[in-house]
Amino acid sequence: MIFEHSSKNKKVLLVISFAVLLLGVFIIFYTPVIFQEGNPWPQIKGIAQLTFSDKDVVKLDIGENKYITKSDNPETIKFFMKEKDYDFTEQMGSGYLFKSSTGASAVATHRYYSRYYSLWTISENKNDSDNNLWKTITNDDGITYQYPKNILAKYISVAEWPPVVKIETGTYSCKTTPMEVSSLADITYQRLVDDRAYCMNIKNEGVAGNVYSSYTYTTIRNDKLVSVDFTLRYINCNNYDEGQSRACTNERESFDLDATVDRIVQTIKYK
């Protein structure tokens, strides 16, 4: 009996030791991800709720409008906002814009928390609609248009802003850069946004560990050639630790610049 009891104790200790070893390895390799938001307890608690309940969206206990989901699927947050009487209107950068039947607006900004979970910050504006997100400008040529006050990104910032809009006569054409001779310094693509064709030229310049990308979008609107010019600053994601580096890279991959430019173009008015 004593031998059997001792054998059981050894097995229990072996299992506990193995579990502690696995936990230690997990912490060593995933510490940058776990602590990317500081105190990891709210995220761990949220993940547990997602795992052991039928919830798709969980509010984090950190005193802010922050939520966690199992993936970056935007349909999850769209359905969640729909239940709060908000309809999705468009994506702007890393943000998803919503509007309610009362005219209030909301922005859900996304970022990754490892490959399997996403964090969302939801900001609601009960008193106004898009006016707090977009600004109207009339340039010296009498062209009036709207542009976003910010681009809703953490690792991407504006360098030359607001965008410069020009209208000319001419025929639309887009000579794209062949793949075999493409250069990171100067690239031209053709993009489609809701069946509207845009010729996008990007000129990249590296400065002090960052990349400054100058964009020119050209399209046809009301039989006129319309161009939109601006410059964005991209932080080198390798400058961060593993957790933030991954978040930086993921934000860049999900950043929807085309939709933002198309929205600007659709607001253009001129004499």
Q: What is the pLDDT of residue 31?
A: 47
Position 103: which residue type?
G
Tokens representing 33 are: 């991800």
Q: What is the pTM of this model?
A: 0.68
Helices in 41-133 by DSSP H: which ranges? Answer: 41-52, 74-83
* Tens-place pLDDT, residues 67-93: 989 876 788 999 999 998 999 988 877
One CATH from 2.40.10, 1.10.8, 2.60.120, 2.30.31 for 133-266: 2.60.120
Which residues touch 44 (CB under 8 Å, ≥6 apart)?
34
Helix (H, G, I), strand (E, B) or coil at 39: coil
Q: Indicate whether 15 pLDDT > 70.
A: no
Provide the pLDDT confidence category of residue 165 given band limits of 50, 70 and 90. very high
Q: Indicate whether 52 pLDDT > 90.
A: no
Cα 21 from Cα 171, distance rounded (Å): 67
Overall size of the chain counted in residues:
271
Q: Any idea which fold 35-130 has?
A: TATA-Binding Protein (3.30.310)
Position 86: which residue type?
Y
Domain range list for the chain:
35-130, 133-266
Cα 94 from Cα 113, distance rounded (Å): 15
DSSP code per residue over 148-201: ES----SSEEEEEEEEEEEEE-S-----PPPGGG-BTTEEEEEEEETTEEEEEE
> Is 56 exposed, middle or buried, given 0-12, 13-18 or 19+ CB atoms closer than 10 A?
middle
Cα 28 from Cα 25, distance rounded (Å): 5
Q: What is the pLDDT of residue 133?
A: 78
